[in-house]
Amino acid sequence: MAREIFDELGVYRNAVTWNSMISAYTRNGDLIAARKLFDRMPQKNVVSWNSMIVGYAQNGQSELAINLFKEMINEQLITPDEVTMASVISACGHLGALELGQWALDFTTSNRIKLSASVYNSLIFMYSRCGCMNEANKIFSKMETRDVVAHNALITGFAAHGNAVEALKFFERMKDENVQPDRITYIGVLTACSHSGMLDEGKKVFLSIEAPDIDHYACMVDLLGRVGKLDEAKRIIEEMPVYPHAAIYGSLLSASRIHKRIEIGEFAAKKLFELEPENSGNYVLLSNIYASAGKWREVDRIRGLMKTRGLTKTSGWSSVEHDRKVHRFTVGERSHDLSDAIYEKLAEMKRKMKGAGYIADNSSVLRDVEEEDKEEMVGTHSEKLAVAFGLLVSEPGTVIRVMKNLRICRDCHTAIKMISKLEGREIIVRDNNRFHRFTDNVCSCNDYW
């Protein structure tokens, strides 16, 4: 209907109608149609550019948002505003692109663009997502007025890093400043308690919520699972006043893997197969649980189930930023310009690790693969390639930051811990669950993720 009205306007269209139509498309996730309209626009203003950049950013197309921003400033016809910069900085955060984020901040200040609350909040988010909580805290401290969004950004950042002490400190501080916590605040604090294994504190926070919603219950299930109280977690699921969603059973399934509770894992997986029949990750995780226990007949059954349902494992990737460019790697990746050097570095790392006692963890690799091939398969996982690239292109002693779309596997986790000690580096990996800060053969997650 909106498009029909827009087409009927013909020569009477103005910037407002063009921008409204672009925003309508992006809100509905039709970025191709939005971009076609944007490119056809006879005269664009800052709202036009913002509509498209925000649309990309909010629909998970961070790289496209940043690339369009670069087009905008290269044309030198329209000056970006605080809406532009907030979206671009947030996009940098989603990519884990610290150099790009700092470049965007420098552009903001050098062009005297207003540092509005939304820009500050985006900066807190960006630094948090890049593993720089000290910088995020500094930005937070500079704000004259800190609203609930700013507090949530910082608390959620500390939660992702497993720093419950700081998350709880800022939670109490926001209440002292008469900033009312919202549902996102409580999710952040409960997640922080979960990632730190602080059961008593988490229960206290949960009980303080006037009307906990399903996501708050999910946090409690995750917390109970993390500390090994899987039966209590299962009981909460069975007694909660709302119908559990997939994330709740996903937390229970993950906990059953860590604590080797196959029967709990089977219970959670059965529910997940009903709620998310096309999510291959749930099948893979249950298969890995069976593989770790040597239940190969069950592994074959799950593989057969996936094949029958036409499911394939989600492709994993890991990325590292260098010179304001995001370099992405997949398992066995050999298309990168520095591929030969990366594999040489990988072989060097492997020799050092074996000399230090490293044995590849092949437990999740299917049994019908030769042992030598198993080691090769886990040895070229995307996160190892990303770390090798990071070691090649960065200065000695500097931090390596890796972003990953899936949960880091056990072998890569063990290997990167060891690499951090052997190379004398701090290595930060952000997977789809949390941050892992590796230093001197220790990870901030305490080997639970």
Amino acid type, 361: D
Q: Which residues contact 14 (CB under 8 A, 6 or more apart)?
A: none
pLDDT tens by residue, 23-79: 999 999 999 999 999 999 988 999 999 999 999 999 999 999 999 999 999 988 899
Residue 90 has pLDDT above 60, yes or no: yes
- Angle separating helix axes 82-95 and 117-129, nearest 10 degrees: 10
Residues 6+ apart with CB under 8 A from 6: 13, 17, 21
pLDDT tier at 370, thresholds 50, 70, 90: very low
**Model confidence over 164-186: pLDDT tens digits?**
999 999 999 999 999 999 999 99
Domain that holds residue 14: 1-131
Q: How many domains does the chain have?
A: 2
Res. 368: pLDDT tops 50: no
Q: What is the mean pLDDT of the chain?
A: 91
Domain boundary (75, 100, 131) is at 131
Interatomic CA distance for residues 100 and 71, integer angstroms: 15
**Average pLDDT, integer, range 321-327:** 94
Residue 1: is its pLDDT beyond 80?
A: no
Mean pLDDT, range 344-349, rounded to an integer: 95
Residue 358 included in any domain: yes
Region 214-241: mean pLDDT is 96
In Å, how far from its chain's centre is CA 148? 22
Token pair for 173: 């501080």
| Structural domain contains residue 251 | no
Angle among Cα 412, 387, 383 to the nearest 5 degrees reads: 40
- Choosing from 131, 151, 174, the residue where a domain stops is 131
Mean pLDDT for the stretch of residues 220-238: 96
User: Per the domain annotation, does 39 fall within a domain?
Assistant: yes
- Helices and strands counted in the chain (H then E): 23, 6
Convert the pLDDT of each residue in 8-18 to its tens digit.
Answer: 555 456 688 88
Determine, yes or no, domain membership for 200.
no
CA neighbor of 342 nearest in space, from 352, 333, 355, 353? 333
Look at the block and give the residue holding tokens 């470049």: 103
The 10 Å Cβ neighbour count of residue 47 is 19
C-alpha–C-alpha distance, residues 437 and 42, integer Å:
49
SS3 of 192-216: the string is HHHHHCCHHHHHHHHHHCCCCCHHH
Answer whether residue 390 is part of any domain.
yes
Diameter over CA atoms, the chain? 74
Query: What is the pLDDT, as a whole number, of residue 374?
Result: 44
- As a whole number of angstroms, the distance between CA 18 and CA 428 comes to 43
Cα separation values, 337 from 192, 341, 428, Å = 40, 9, 24
Query: Rounded distance, CA 2 to CA 297, Å?
Result: 56
CB-based contacts of 268, cutoff 8 Å, min separation 6: 249, 250, 252, 253, 256
Q: Which of 91, 116, 131 is the last residue of a domain?
A: 131
For residue 311, is pLDDT > 80? yes
pLDDT score of 359: 85
In Å, how far from its chain's centre is CA 392?
Answer: 24
Lowest-pLDDT range of 222-236, 248-262, 435-449: 435-449
Residue 449 is assigned to a structural domain of this protein: no
Q: Is residue 171 part of a domain?
A: no
CB 124 within 8 A of CB 136: yes
pLDDT of residue 432: 87
Backbone CA torsion sign across 8, 13, 17, 19 = positive
Mean pLDDT of the 124-147 span: 96
CA dist 120 and 139 (Å) reads 7
Q: What is the CATH number of the domain that holds 3?
A: 1.25.40.10
